[in-house]
Amino acid sequence: MEPIDIVGKAKEDASLPKATMTKIIKEMLPPDVRVARDTQDLLIECCVEFINLVSSESNEVCGREDKRTIAPEHVLKALEVLGFGEYIEDVYAAYEQHKLETMDTIRSGKLSNGAEMTEEEALAAQQRMFAEARARMNGVKPLPPEVDPTTHN
**pLDDT tens digit sequence for 12-51:** 556 889 999 999 999 999 999 999 999 999 999 999 999 9
Residues 75 and 8 in one domain: yes
Domain boundary among 24, 54, 82: 82
User: pTM here?
Assistant: 0.60
Question: What number of H helices and E strands is found in the chain?
Answer: 5, 0
78-116 confidence digits (pLDDT tens):
999 999 999 999 999 999 999 888 887 776 765 544 456
Residues 98 and 77 in one domain: no
What is the residue range of 7's domain?
A: 1-82
How many structural domains is the chain composed of?
Answer: 2
Residues 128 and 71 in one domain: no
Residues 10 and 64 in one domain: yes
Closest CA to 6 of 67, 70, 65, 64: 70
